[in-house]
Amino acid sequence: MGIVATFGLDKLVDILKAAGEATRLRLLVLLSAGDLTVTDLTDILGQSQPRISRHLKLLAEDELVERYQEGAWAYFRLRRDGAAAELVRAILATTDPADPVLVRDAQRLVAVKQTRSERAQAYFSRNASEWDELRRLHVSDEAVEAALLDAVGAVRVGSLLDLGTGTGRMLQLLEHLYDYGTGIDASRDMLTVARANLDKDGIVKASVRQGDIFNLPVDGQEFDLVTIHQVLHFLDQPQLALSEAARVLKPGGRLAVIDLAPHVLDHLREEHAHVRMGFSHDVMAEWLGKAGLTVERIIDIPPGGQAERALTVTIWLARSPVTVATV
Measured distance CA(176)–CA(154) in Å, rounded: 9
Find the angle CA(90)-CA(96)-CA(102) to the nearest 5 degrees. 110
Residue 6 has pLDDT above 70, yes or no: yes
End-to-end CA distance of the chain: 36
- Return the closest-CA partner of residue 262 out of 246, 278, 239: 278
Helix axes 9-19, 22-31, angle to 10 degrees: 80
Least reliable range by pLDDT among 3-7, 50-54, 73-77, 158-162: 3-7
Measured distance CA(93)–CA(1) in Å, rounded: 8
> Could you tell me if 187 and 167 are in contact, meaning their C-beta atoms sit under 8 angstroms apart?
no
Find the angle CA(321)-CA(322)-CA(325) to the nearest 5 degrees. 135
Least reliable range by pLDDT among 55-69, 148-162, 168-182, 216-230: 55-69
- Return the closest-CA partner of residue 12 out of 83, 95, 66, 90: 83
Q: pTM of the entire structure?
A: 0.76
- Element containing residue 15 per DSSP (H, E): helix 9-19
What are the CA-CA distances from residue 241 to residues 71, 225, 237, 318 (Å)?
A: 21, 15, 7, 14
**Is pLDDT larger for residue 142 or for residue 119?**
142
pLDDT in tens, 273-308: 777 888 999 999 999 999 999 999 999 998 865 555
pLDDT value of residue 121:
64
- Scored b (16 or more CB within 10 A) or e, 179-199 reads eebbbbbeeeebbbbbbbbbb
Average pLDDT along the chain: 87
Residue 1 has pLDDT above 50, yes or no: no
Classified as helix, coil or strand, 70 is strand
- Return the closest-CA partner of residue 165 out of 121, 208, 127: 208
pLDDT value of residue 128:
54
Residue 13 has pLDDT above 90, yes or no: no
pLDDT in tens, 125-170: 666 556 656 666 777 888 899 999 999 999 999 999 999 998 899 9
- Return the closest-CA partner of residue 89 out of 80, 101, 77: 80
> Could you tell me if 184 and 217 are in contact, meaning their C-beta atoms sit under 8 angstroms apart?
yes
